[in-house]
Amino acid sequence: MLNIMEVHETNQMIEQEKLDVRTITMGISLLDCADADVDVVADNIYRKITTYAKDLVATGEAIERDYGIPIVNKRITVTPISLVGASACKSSEDFVKLAHALDRAAKQVGVDLIGGYSALVSKSMTPAEEMLIRSLPQALSETDIVCSSVNVGSTKTGIDMNAVELLGHIIKDIAYNTRDNDSYGCVKFVAFCNAPDDNPFMAGGFHGVTEGDAVINVGVSGPGVVSRALDETKGRDFEFLCETIKRTAFKITRVGQLVAQEASRRLGIPFGIIDLSLAPTPAVGDSVGEVLEKIGLEQVGAPGTTAALAMLNDQVKKGGIMASSYVGGLSGAFIPVSEDKNMIDAAGAGCLTIEKLEAMTCVCSVGLDMIAIPGDTTAATISGIIADEAAIGMVNQKTTAVRIIPVYGKGVGDSAEFGGLMGYAPIMPVNQTSCEAFVTRGGRIPAPIHSFKN
Amino acid sequence: MNKAIITVVGQDTVGIIARVCTYLAEHHVNVLDISQTIIDGFFNMMMIVDYANVDTEFGTMVTDLDALGEQIGVKIRCQREEIFTKMHRV
Predicted local confidence at residue A454, as pLDDT? 67
| Residue range(s) defining the domain that contains residue B21 | 3-87
Give the chain A residue nearest B87 (alpha carbons).
Answer: A251
Is the pLDDT reported for residue A453 higher than 80?
A: no
Q: How far is A58 from chain B (nearest CA, A)?
A: 12
**What is the distance of C-alpha A57 from the center of its chain?**
21
| CATH assignment at residue A113 | 3.20.70.20
Is the pLDDT reported for residue A276 higher than 90?
A: no
A66: nearest CB among B37, B58, B87: B58
CA gap A3, A1 in Å, rounded: 6
Could you tell me if residue A60 is inside a domain? yes
Could you tell me if residue A115 is inside a domain? yes
Least confident of A40-44, A86-90, A193-197, A320-324: A320-324
Please report which confidence band the pLDDT of residue A111 belongs to, taking 50, 70 and 90 as the band edges.
Answer: very high
**Three-state secondary structure string covering chain A:** CCCHHHHHHHHHHHHCCCCCEEEEEEEECCHHHCCCCHHHHHHHHHHHHHHHCCCHHHHHHHHHHHHCCCEEEEEEEECCHHHHCCCCCCCHHHHHHHHHHHHHHHHHHCCCEEECCCEECCCCCCHHHHHHHHHHHHHHHHCCCEEEEEEEEECCCEEEHHHHHHHHHHHHHHHHHCHHHCCHHHHHEEEEECCCCCCCCCCCCCCCCCCCCEEEEEEECCHHHHHHHHHHHCCCCHHHHHHHHHHHHHHHHHHHHHHHHHHHHHHCCCEEEEECEECCCCCCCCCHHHHHHHHCCCCCCCCCHHHHHHHHHHHHHHHHHCCCCCECCCCEECCEHHHCHHHHHHHHCCCCCHHHHHHHHCCCCCCEEEEEEECCCCHHHHHHHHHHHHHHHHHHCCCEEEEEEEECCCCECEEEECCHHHCEEECCCCCCCCCHHHHCCCCEECCCCCCCCC
Could you tell me if residue A62 is inside a domain? yes
| Cross-chain Cβ contact B83/A257 below 8 Å | no
Nearest to A402 by CA among A337, A310, A307: A337
pLDDT in tens, A88-106: 999 999 999 999 999 999 9
Q: Does B41 touch chain A (CB under 8 A)?
A: no
| Cross-chain Cβ contact A4/B35 below 8 Å | yes
Cβ-contact A195, A211 below 8 angstroms: no
Is the pLDDT reported for residue A153 higher than 80?
A: yes
CA gap A78, A199 in Å, rounded: 11
Mean pLDDT of the region A381-402: 96
Beta bridge partners of residue B43, listed in sequence order:
B10, B38
pLDDT in tens, A159-211: 999 999 999 999 999 999 999 999 999 999 999 999 999 999 999 999 999 99
Q: Which segments of chain B have a pLDDT < 70?
A: none
Is the pLDDT reported for residue A133 higher than 80?
A: yes
Could you tell me if residue A221 is inside a domain? yes
Residues of B in contact with A257 (CB under 8 A): 86
Predicted local confidence at residue B38, as pLDDT? 85
Give the chain A residue nearest B48 (alpha carbons).
Answer: A2
| Cross-chain Cβ contact B36/A4 below 8 Å | yes
What percent of chain A has a predicted confidence (pLDDT) above 90? Answer: 90
Mean pLDDT of the region A373-377: 97
Please report which confidence band the pLDDT of residue A442 belongs to, taking 50, 70 and 90 as the band edges.
Answer: very high
Number of structural domains, chain A?
A: 1
Q: Does B57 touch chain A (CB under 8 A)?
A: no
Cβ-contact B35, B43 below 8 angstroms: no
Give the chain B residue nearest A260 (alpha carbons).
Answer: B83
Is the pLDDT reported for residue A249 higher than 90?
A: yes
Residues of B in contact with A255 (CB under 8 A): 83, 86-87
Phi, psi of A311 (to 5 degrees): -65, -45
Is the pLDDT reported for residue A234 higher than 80?
A: yes
Q: Does A6 touch chain B (CB under 8 A)?
A: yes
Could you tell me if residue A87 is inside a domain? yes
Give the chain B residue nearest A249 (alpha carbons).
Answer: B87
Could you tell me if residue A213 is inside a domain? yes
Is the pLDDT reported for residue A70 higher than 70?
A: yes
| CATH assignment at residue B23 | 3.30.70.260
Number of structural domains, chain B?
A: 1
Q: How far is CA A327 from CA A110, A314, A321, in A?
A: 27, 14, 7
- Residue with the bigger pLDDT between B15 and A348: it is A348
Give Cβ neighbours of residue A148 (< 8 Å, ≥ 6 apart): A115, A117, A118, A136, A139, A140, A188, A189, A190, A203
Average pLDDT of chain A is: 95
Could you tell me if residue A352 is inside a domain? no
What percent of chain A has a predicted confidence (pLDDT) above 70? Answer: 100
Indicate whether this complex's ipTM tops 0.90. yes
Q: Does B39 touch chain A (CB under 8 A)?
A: yes
Mean pLDDT of the region A341-369: 94
Could you tell me if residue A394 is inside a domain? no
Q: Which amino acid is at A114?
A: I
Residues of A in contact with B44 (CB under 8 A): 4, 8
